[in-house]
């Protein structure tokens, strides 16, 4: 098993490599059709030809594409000589950061190193820095949704299958179809409209620390709690605020995912419930609870585990439109904005990250499948 | 490995196209004379399909939507590009059926546009003194019906000129005062055509490469499978966005449409190829393939005369199941302003106008095109489910 995992991880390296090549190729076509980042300023009368040439030279856009690509790849592995293109000073890819332990009031230093994925044209900062700034929002958004949808869909799927053709089952099936059919962005629009319009949640306020905080609809935190979510300065107010902003996101992102998961769970549960060993178990006089949960559900879980791998990209796609509508600064939103700006290293890096998440998801799905189904062996 | 699982999954369902034939022949025999020809596979599928009420409903809804998109210029009271200068963001026009408590021919009042002096918000009101009856087959903006007949007859409308206050906006108007109903009907063309268009491309490539991959095996298979793996390790939407950004903004919309079709097909064929490959891997080991080969059939003949007819229905159904996600993908792309551009439109592009929630708050009618997306996708989901069940009797108890 371990050697299998090791082989799969090794296998990811050439795939990711191919992914970066393909993404870089797409960007090259993009640049040859619509112009590079610098070409955007061509229509701006305030930017002279000299400034543009200088900028082009600083950003390395005057170099041939293959050299740009190789420099970028080299930076990932040997990032010590990464240089700020604006000032010419080296980026601190090696430094000492520190953890703050809030209760003990301690700052623990730790060496910090990160791979250098080039520099963002738009922000003139290392892509890694920017990426790490957006990543927490993605995680704050997707991880709870991930847990929530899985914890909720499996029992609902089982209920739906054990109560086939009941009112509850019909409702679940219908809502499932509806959830599959509503595009994420449209659901986001509806929810924003309902919350801010008829329900008017903005009028719900509470006083704290001498100030008044009101509920908002968009974003993941209210303005008052904005700032980096990374430091561990969570307070009760912030948590409440976060949970409040989370539930529209859960509804938007979770509904499509839950619809799929419930469908699969219901289908496989129905298949299992019709099989002979369930009849045997029932005729032995086992209680319904034992039959459903120990005999049927234990076996019906396999198909749903194998979609685990497809679930992560699904979340990425959902998070993209949700982030745009609800205005949450996630990695996906960053990607969308960079795409419009032809910020090439950001695009390649984030596409690679997405592919990485997808591959990891597939691997995790296969490992989980082996864990829940002892019949599956990898060598 | 995941691939093995897939193949095992395929091989359990592989008998499906042939087995209902056997099964149903026995069913059909007593009620019909013995000389009756056995039903063809297509007839069997149709018979199974007719039993699926929701699937039939889905099919009818799709046909109606397709017809409405085809005759959009005629059904909509205005051209999709006609702007009404003073009537931007006008709400849906109320239709009146009663005058002084008596039922009359439906009419609308003139629309008056004012600005609130304090907030400069739009205020639309009805001018009770101006009455405009709704007329059928009125003359309006000229268009060419189905691209053949040049005409200016619209199914209904007030028949008033553009500057008149007597306008009929059943779904309201957008920022530029364009009728949302006419735009929604036109937008349906792109949204409905994208699925079938992508399927034609991706089926062609998918069948070719999937067939080669499954039939020849070995290094060809290996090469194609690695290519598929790389393509599938991109999450679809970010890749679509990147590719759609490549399309130059100045590209005319008819080319842009095909560009989007190509983008979707670039990923779409991989799924078709996977399905077909699984089918071919199992079919090529069967006796009839061996027999055909033993009789000296060429590879091409075996593929096209023996393997493909047995596998094609599965591939087509699995492709149909992909249509809803294609419609949603196009809508998402257009919603993010990377798909179809002005003045042409699609349902997703129409919702782009509602992206700013400050705009959306007081103009809820801008969300109407979204309902069309939901209904269409729902209809395709029902249809796809019914088709899948009709073709594969073993999946009949799935939700």
pLDDT for the residue numbered A218: 64
Share of chain A above pLDDT 90, in %: 0
Q: What is the pLDDT of residues A182-202, one digit of tens each?
A: 888 888 888 888 877 777 776
Share of chain A above pLDDT 70, in %: 81
- Chain B contact present for A189, CB below 8 A: yes
pLDDT for the residue numbered B8: 40
Q: What is the pLDDT of residues B160-216, one digit of tens each?
A: 777 777 788 888 888 888 888 888 998 888 888 898 899 888 888 888 888 888 777
Could you tell me which residues come within 8 angstroms of residue A252 by beta carbon, excluding any fewer than 6 positions away?
Answer: A184, A187, A188, A191, A318, A322, A325, A326
> Hey, are the CB atoms on A176 and B399 less than 8 Å from each other?
yes
pLDDT for the residue numbered A224: 59
- Chain B contact present for A19, CB below 8 A: yes
Angle at A163 between CA A157 and CA A168, to 5 degrees: 75
Domain with CATH 1.10.3720.10 in chain B: 53-70+183-391
pLDDT for the residue numbered B62: 92
CA–CA separation, B248 vs B385, rounded Å?
38
Q: What is the pLDDT of residues A60-77, one digit of tens each?
A: 778 888 888 888 888 787
Phi, psi torsion values for A221, nearest 5 degrees: -135, 155
pLDDT for the residue numbered B243: 87
Q: How far is B395 from chain A (nearest CA, A)?
A: 9
Phi, psi torsion values for B280, nearest 5 degrees: -65, -40
pLDDT for the residue numbered A217: 64
Give the residue on A whose Cα is nearest the Cα of B229.
A15
Q: What is the pLDDT of residues A245-278, one digit of tens each?
A: 787 788 888 887 888 888 888 888 888 888 888 8
Q: What residues in B contact A313, CB-CB < 8 Å?
A: 235-236
Q: What is the pLDDT of residues A18-58, one digit of tens each?
A: 888 888 888 888 888 877 777 777 777 777 788 888 887 77
pLDDT for the residue numbered B21: 44
pLDDT for the residue numbered B376: 92
Higher pLDDT, B353 or A154: A154
Residue A156 clears pLDDT 50, i.e. is over it:
yes
What are the per-10-residue average pLDDT scores of chain B (399 residues)? 39 42 47 60 75 85 91 83 79 82 82 77 78 81 77 79 78 84 89 88 86 80 85 83 83 85 88 82 80 83 80 75 87 86 84 77 83 91 81 49
pLDDT for the residue numbered B12: 39
Q: Tell me the Ramachandran region of residue A200: left when phi exceeds 0, alpha when psi lies from -120 to 50, beta otherwise.
A: left
pLDDT for the residue numbered A186: 87
Q: How many CB atoms lie within 10 A of CB A31?
A: 18
> Hey, are the CB atoms on A185 and B351 less than 8 Å from each other?
yes
CA–CA separation, B36 vs B22, rounded Å?
15
Sequence-ordered strand ranges (E) for chain A: 94-101, 106-113, 205-208, 211-214
For the entire predicted model, the pTM comes to 0.81
CA–CA separation, A27 vs A21, rounded Å?
10
- Chain B contact present for A267, CB below 8 A: yes
> Hey, are the CB atoms on B1 and A358 less than 8 Å from each other?
no
Could you tell me which residues come within 8 angstroms of residue A293 by beta carbon, excluding any fewer than 6 positions away?
Answer: A158
What is the CATH architecture assignment of B53-70+183-391?
Orthogonal Bundle (1.10)
Nearest one of B235, B257, B242 to B330, comparing CA atoms = B257
pLDDT for the residue numbered B5: 40
Give the residue on B whose Cα is nearest the Cα of A1.
B1
CA–CA separation, B288 vs B272, rounded Å?
24
């Amino acid at each position: 098993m371990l050697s299998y995992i090791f082989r799969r991880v090794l296998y990811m390296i050439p795939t990711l490599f191919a992914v970066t090549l393909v993404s870089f190729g797409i960007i090259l076509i993009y640049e040859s059709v619509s112009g590079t980042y610098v070409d955007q300023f061509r229509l701006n009368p305030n930017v002279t030809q000299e400034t543009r040439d200088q900028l082009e030279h600083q950003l390395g856009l005057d170099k041939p594409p293959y050299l740009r690509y190789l420099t970028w790849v080299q930076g990932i592995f040997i990032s010590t000589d990464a240089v700020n293109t604006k000032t010419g000073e080296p980026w601190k890819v090696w430094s000492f950061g520190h953890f703050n332990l809030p209760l003990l009031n301690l700052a623990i230093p730790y060496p910090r190193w990160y791979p250098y994925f080039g520099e963002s044209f738009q922000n003139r900062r290392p892509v890694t820095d920017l990426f790490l700034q957006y990543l927490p929002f993605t995680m704050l958004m997707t991880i709870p949704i991930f847990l929530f949808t899985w914890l909720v869909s499996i029992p609902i799927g089982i209920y739906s299958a054990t109560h086939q053709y009941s009112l509850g089952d019909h409702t679940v099936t219908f809502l499932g179809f509806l959830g599959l059919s509503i595009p994420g962005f449209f659901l986001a629009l509806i929810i924003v409209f309902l919350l801010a319009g008829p329900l008017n949640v903005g009028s719900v306020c509470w006083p704290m620390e001498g100030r008044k905080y009101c509920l908002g609809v968009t974003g993941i935190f209210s303005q008052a709690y904005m700032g980096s979510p990374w430091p561990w300065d969570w307070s009760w107010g912030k948590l409440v605020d976060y949970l409040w902003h989370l539930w529209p996101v859960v509804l938007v992102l979770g509904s499509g995912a839950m619809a799929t998961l419930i469908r699969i769970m219901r289908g496989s549960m129905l298949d299992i419930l019709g099989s002979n060993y369930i009849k045997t178990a029932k005729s032995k006089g086992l209680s319904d609870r034992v039959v459903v949960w120990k005999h049927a559900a234990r076996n019906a879980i396999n198909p749903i585990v194998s979609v685990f791998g497809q679930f992560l990209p699904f979340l990425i796609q959902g998070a993209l439109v949700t982030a745009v509508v609800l205005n949450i600064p996630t990695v996906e939103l960053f990607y969308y904005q960079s795409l419009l700006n032809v910020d090439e290293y950001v695009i390649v890096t984030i596409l690679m990250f997405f592919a990485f998440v997808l591959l990891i998801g597939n691997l995790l799905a296969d490992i989980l499948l082996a864990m829940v189904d002892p019949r599956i062996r990898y060598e | 490995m995941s691939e093995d699982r897939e193949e095992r999954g395929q091989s359990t369902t592989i008998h499906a196209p042939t087995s209902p034939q056997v099964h149903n022949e026995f069913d059909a025999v007593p009620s019909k004379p013995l000389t009756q020809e056995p039903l063809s596979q297509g007839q069997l599928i149709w018979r199974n399909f007719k039993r699926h009420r929701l699937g039939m409903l889905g099919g009818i809804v799709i046909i109606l939507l397709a017809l409405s998109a085809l005759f959009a210029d005629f059904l909509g009271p205005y051209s999709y590009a006609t702007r009404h200068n003073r009537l931007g963001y006008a709400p849906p026009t109320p239709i009146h059926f009663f005058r002084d408590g008596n039922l009359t021919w439906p009419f609308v009042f003139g629309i008056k546009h004012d600005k609130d002096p304090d907030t400069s918000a739009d205020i639309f009101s009805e001018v009770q003194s101006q009455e405009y009856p709704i007329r059928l087959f009125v003359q309006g903006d000229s268009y060419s019906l189905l691209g053949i007949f040049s005409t200016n007859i619209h199914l209904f409308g007030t028949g008033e000129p553009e500057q008149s206050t007597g306008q009929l906006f059943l779904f309201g108007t957008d920022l530029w005062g364009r009728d949302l109903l006419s735009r929604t009907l036109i937008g349906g063309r792109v949204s409905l055509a994208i699925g079938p268009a992508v399927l034609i491309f991706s089926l062609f490539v998918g069948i070719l490469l999937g067939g080669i991959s499954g039939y020849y095996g070995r290094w060809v298979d290996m090469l194609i499978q690695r290519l598929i793996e790389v393509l599938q390790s991109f999450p679809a939407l970010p890749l679509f966005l990147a590719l759609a950004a490549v399309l130059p903004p100045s590209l005319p919309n008819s080319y842009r449409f095909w560009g989007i079709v190509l983008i979707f097909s670039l990923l779409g064929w991989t799924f078709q190829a996977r399905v077909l490959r699984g089918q071919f891997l199992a079919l090529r080991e069967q006796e009839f393939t061996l027999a055909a080969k033993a009789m000296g059939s060429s590879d091409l003949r075996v593929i096209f005369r023996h393997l493909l007819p047995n596998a094609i229905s599965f591939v087509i159904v699995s492709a149909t199941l992909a249509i809803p996600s294609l419609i949603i993908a196009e809508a998402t792309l257009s919603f993010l302003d990377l798909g179809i551009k002005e003045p042409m439109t699609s349902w997703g592009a129409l919702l782009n106008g509602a992206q700013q929630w400050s705009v959306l708050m007081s103009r809820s009618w801008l969300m109407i095109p979204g309902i069309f997306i939901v209904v269409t996708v729902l209809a395709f989901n029902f249809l796809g489910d019914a088709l899948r069940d009709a073709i594969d009797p073993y999946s009949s108890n799935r939700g």
